[in-house]
Amino acid sequence: MTLRALFMMVLLLVSPAVLAVSPNEILPDAALEQRARDISAGLRCLVCQNQSIDDSDADLARDLRVLVRERLVAGDSNNEVEQYIVDRYGEYVLLNPRLGGHTLLLWAAAPLLLFVGLGLLLLARRRTPPGPVEGLTAEEQAALDALERGPDAR
């Protein structure tokens, strides 16, 4: 049984990871370092399970972190750094998938589902016979009160 299967077993992504960013990687410029962090949080550690390179101690993650910082120091914008990494490692490296033909359905899923749901609701309302919906009748109210009070109410 592989280690990874064990992780799966407990429904948790736990890895015996020690952490990520080391003091010797940190850039002296705080603003630049913050940008490096922001970019890193969106880049996947390729050899890990759904971890960003910021959270992983794998060698590859370290190399990517250093690469991100090198590009930033060289004066790249955030997008340029991201593109630089994607050019070399593929879109798989992005934790936030880009909008495009291949991810259209992914990004559209939530709004689509919401609108379909709303549509179905409206349809269901149309089908119900029209007519004034008044408040509860005295009888219904009594039944409801009994339900809400329960048997132990005095």
Partner 1 sequence: MSIELGHFALILAFAIALVSAIGGLLLWRRGERLALVLGHASILQFVLVAVAFLAVVQAFVASDFSLALAANHSHSLKPLIFKISGVWGNHEGSMLLWVLILVLFGALVATFGRRLPSDLTNLVLGTQSLLVAAFAGFTLLTSNPFERLSPAPLEGADLNPVLQDIGLAIHPPLLYAGYVGFSICFSFAIAALVSGRIDQAWARWVRPWTMLSWTFLTLGIAMGSYWAYYELGWGGWWFWDPVENSSFMPWLAGTALLHSALVMEKRNALKIWTIFLSIITFSLSLLGTFLVRSGILTSVHTFASDPTRGLVILTILAVLIGGAFLLFAIRSPSLRQGGLFAPISREGALILNNLFLATAVGAVLVGTLYPLLLDALTGTTISVGAPFFNFTFGALMAPLLLVLPFGPLLAWKRADLVAAGQRLMGFAALSVFLAILISALGGTSISMVPIGLLLGFWVSFGAIAEVIERSRLGRIPLGESLRRLRGLPRSIWSTALGHFGMGLTVLGIVTVSAWETELVTTLNPGETAELSGYLVAFDSFEQQPGANYVADTGVFTVTDPGGETATLLAERRTYVASGMPTTEAAIQTYGLSQLYLQLGEPLENTHVIRVWHKPYILLIWIGALVMAGAGALSLTDRRLRVGIPQRARKATAEAAQ
CA gap 61, 47 in Å, rounded? 8
Instruction: Give me the sign of the Cα torsion angle 72, 77, 78, 80.
Output: negative
Helices 78-89, 30-41: axis angle to 10 degrees equals 40
| Position 107, amino acid | W
- Residues 96-135 touching partner 1, rule: CB under 8 A, are 96-97, 102-103, 105-106, 109-110, 113-114, 117-118, 121, 125, 128, 131, 133-135
Distance CA 75, CA 135 (A): 67
Q: Which of 5, 30, 123, 138 binds partner 1 (CB under 8 A)?
A: 5
Query: Closer to partner 1 at the Cβ: 75 or 150?
Result: 150
**Which residues between 57 and 86 bind partner 1 (CB under 8 A)?**
none
Residues forming the site for partner 1 (CB under 8 A): 1-24, 26, 41-42, 44, 49-52, 55, 90-97, 102-103, 105-106, 109-110, 113-114, 117-118, 121, 125, 128, 131, 133-136, 140, 144, 146-153
